[in-house]
Every structure is written in structure tokens, then in C-alpha cells.
Chains A and B, each alone.
Chain A
Amino acid sequence: MRDVSRRSLVKGMAGLGALVASGLVGPRRLALAQGDPVLAGRPLVRYPEKTDLILLTSRPPQLETPMKYFDRAITPNEAFFVRYHVFPIPLEVDLATWRLRISGRVDRPLELSLDDLKTRFPRASVTAVNQCSGNSRGRFAPRVLGGQWGDGAMGNAEWVGARLKDILTAAGVRQGAVQATFDGLDKPAFPSVPDFVKSLDITRIMDDPDVLVAYEMNGAPLPMLNGYPARLVVPGWYATYWVKHLSEIEVIDHVFEKFWMKPGYRIPDNACGCVAPGTVLARTVPINRLTVRSFIAAPEPGTRVSVGRPIILKGIAFDGGEGVREVQVSDNDGATWRQARLGADLGRYSFREWSAAWTPGQPGPARLMVRAINRIGESQGREPLWNPAGYLRNVIEHVDLQVG
């Protein structure tokens, strides 16, 4: 039933003729997604503990997950995307010496080994989406500076670890504490480069039992490139807060405003987080909650299907923690929508699997669209929003098929 057009494949590779001819890039190693200008020419690469992922940048490493993995709720660890901010990155962790230190405005500063995290605090679990703030930035028009991601800077896993509020309670947060800062083992090569440090409000942490220091991902230790031995998990919020290789937590009496909190990772301070293209932002806030998104992972774009023969569309939907109420598909450019079937509910922070049967009606090109609606009625727009950093993209997605 599926027959990816060879002609388009060959055409897509023509621009890379020189690289292919030089033997630097084998044709089978190209991350071809038919007609996708953002992924065109990007190689598939295999990094430690990872399967073939789409290369964005070599150093610091940034790898994205091919769309085919989003036909299911749980993203395999080996296919989970990778994103670092500074180079070099940690290539080695020795659990005999690794410690998570909690300091600052606390009664009892702590130094916790991985074993301490596992034995001194109740084991908590949450299934949650980890999505890069700039996921799909490459699709912004007009284009914006930054990592030109396709749609694969996201994944969903079951995270197990200690609750951050339990750890801070053990340390004893003092009166006047406002935020906690989070730092990992990744340290820049030059002292002049801002270290990657993030912060969260103390109230945000103490009110939310799902914020974890996670040491397990889908039942296994975290892959090194996803933050071994432990990372912060902030369900419903963008991945920028999910600090990898977590090593330092400091409780402070003010709002932290170093580079990666300000001016980095800011969105317009308005309801949509968007502005007219070209606008210079006046008031901004730190990026926070995920917007509603949904994707069609199967069939792949360009798949050839037959009139009258039903196929199954599959994909995932998610939001910032209200939970997905409904997923709808359209085959007539959004004139009418019909309900998709939802898969198992793995919790309000998780990818929600969906599927829908569709029978091609007439020969020629067909466009299938998908949108999700969450439990408070938030959905996705027909027109993409824009902001200068390329964040929060959540336009209605589609795939184009060929009906033969």
C-alpha cells in the first residue's frame, strides 16, 4: 500500500550531489522527509546509546527524533532527542563522586548520592512530554535565528525519581526564599560563556508533586545524552527547565536573571506569546507552559494510497498539562472535522496516542490535517503565530498524500 515516490527521493538528493559523490554522506544516511525543506540534506547519525537520529548540529550535539517514532505514546530512550547549549558536554560520570548539592537559603545543606536519591525519598513517577522551546523553529516565516529544528525536538517518557519538593523539604527551605536555581555538569569551555543555569519559583516547586529529580527514563537509567545520572523533570513546561546531569540546586531570595533566564528563553508578555513579524519585544516573561500540539506520524508525507482502500492515520497530541480532550482530523482543508479515536490515557502531561481510519475518495493529491483540543478548550490555529525567538509553534499540522 505504501510506495514512497523514488522520483522525489532522487530529486531531493540532487542538491547534495557533491557530498554524496565525495562519500562523506551515504545516500541511506540522509534524513529525507519528502519535500520537507527543513530536513532536506540533514544526515542521519548514530550517537552513543542512540539509534539513527537527524543531525542538527555536531557540537554541542543536537539531534532530532524522526517523525516515525511519534506514532506511539512513549518515545524510546534510544530515539529521544538531544539538545545541549554549551560545549564541552559531560562524557563521563562517576557515581562514586557525583553528588547533587542543595545549598543557599536552607537549614540543612545536602549532598546526595544517586543512592541517597533512591533510598531517602519516596519513588515518584510521571509520564510527561519533554519538548524543546524551539521545536519546529525551522518552519517560522519569516525565518528566525536559532537552531533550525524540524518537529523532532520532543519526546515522551515515563520519568521516575525523587520529588523536588521532598528534597527541598529535607533541606529545609528558609523564610524569604523566592526561587531555586538548577545547574548541571555541562560547563562551557571559556569562563566568559554563560553557564547553563535555570530557575523555578519555590511556590511552583512546593505546589507541584510532579516536579522530579528523575534517575529513570522508561524503566532504565537515563542515556548519557539525556542527562545521566539525573535530570530535572518539569511536567507541562518546556524542556529548557529540565536541566540535565543535575548537580547543583541553590535556594535564593530573589528572581534569578542570568543569561539563560534573561534575556534567553523569553516570550512576549501577552496571551498568545506572539507578535507581528519583525516586532522588537517590549515586555517579556520566561517561557513556561507547553502549547497544544498534535501530529500525524503515519502515513509518511508523500505516501501513495489507493481510492476506496481505507488506511489508518496515527499520531500523538499533547498540551501543557490540562490533558487532551479531543483530537480531530480533516480531509477537506478544515471545512469539516471528525473525531479521532484516543489511545490509553497515560496522564495529563503525556503524549496521547490517536488514530483515525480514512478512505481516499478520489485520485490526486490529498491533504490530511489534525488538531487537538485540551480540557479547557485550548486548541491550535490555522495560521502560525510568530515571535522573534521561534518559540511556542502550534499551528494545525498536516501531511500530503498521493491518491492513485
Chain B
Amino acid sequence: MPVGLLGIVLAASAMTAATVAAAADRTISMPSDHAYATLRSGPGVEVTRQQCVSCHSTDYIVMQPRGNARQWDAVVTKMIKVFGAPITDQDAKTIVEYLATTYGN
């Protein structure tokens, strides 16, 4: 939100309740995903990016502790089973291989 609009909202809070109801609608817009944590290149990076970024930015992946295939498989399985990520078995396999190779321990 531009600083000017915030000022208007804050000023509105000092008005009467009736005025506030009409004037206090609040809208913000969010910046796009920051590039500080893009996925490293490697086999499967495109599938990984496409599937994961529909729900979250890639910083979520990059910041995690490194893990072997079993540990990354648990993460990807959680995304599918618990969070309902619509990822096919084949793509899940590609993603786990990519993560275990690129962010392995």
C-alpha cells in the first residue's frame, strides 16, 4: 500500500464510526516472489519448480536442512498427503530425486 493511502486509512480511524465504515476499506498488493532463493539447476528442476510454486515460494525449499532421498521423500509425501498437493507419482519421484541430489547431505 502506498504511504499516502495508509495515511488516509489512519486518518479515517479518527473520524466518526459511520464515516469509517464507508472509508476504511483496506487493500494491499503483494510483491512477487523474491529471487534470493531460486532453485539450483539440475535434472528435475523444472518439474520441481512448477509443482511446488503453485502453493509456496522456493525459499521454503532452499532454507530447509539438507536431506537424503528418504528424508525428502517424507517431505514431498507430506505435501501430497497432508496438504493435498496435486502431484502425480511420476512427478513426485522426479522431485525427490532432484532434491536429494541438489539439496542432499
Contacts and interface: CB of A to CB of B under 8 A. Distances in A.
Interface of A: 16, 19, 24-25, 41-43, 45, 47-49, 55-61, 87, 89, 91-96, 113-115, 118-119, 138, 142-145, 147-148, 189-194, 220-221, 224-225, 228-229, 259
Given A115-B21, A224-B28, A56 B82 contact: no
Given A47-B30, A55-B34, A95-B25, A220 B13 contact: yes
A190 to B, nearest CB: 6
20 contacts: A41-B36, A45-B31, A47-B30, A47-B31, A55-B34, A57-B59, A57-B63, A58-B31, A91-B28, A114-B20, A114-B21, A115-B17, A119-B17, A138-B63, A145-B75, A189-B55, A190-B85, A194-B82, A221-B10, A225-B28
Contacts of A55: 34, 36, 59
Contacts of B36: 16, 19, 24-25, 41-43, 55
Contacts of B6: 49
Given A61-B30, A95-B24, A113-B21, 19 more contacts: A25-B35, A25-B36, A41-B36, A47-B30, A56-B59, A57-B59, A57-B63, A58-B33, A91-B28, A96-B25, A115-B20, A147-B63, A190-B84, A192-B83, A192-B85, A193-B84, A220-B13, A221-B10, A259-B82
B56 interface: yes
Interface residues of B, number: 38
Given A49-B1, A118-B17, A145-B64, A193 B28 contact: no
Nearest to B61: A57
Contacts of B65: 142-145
B60 A57 contact: yes
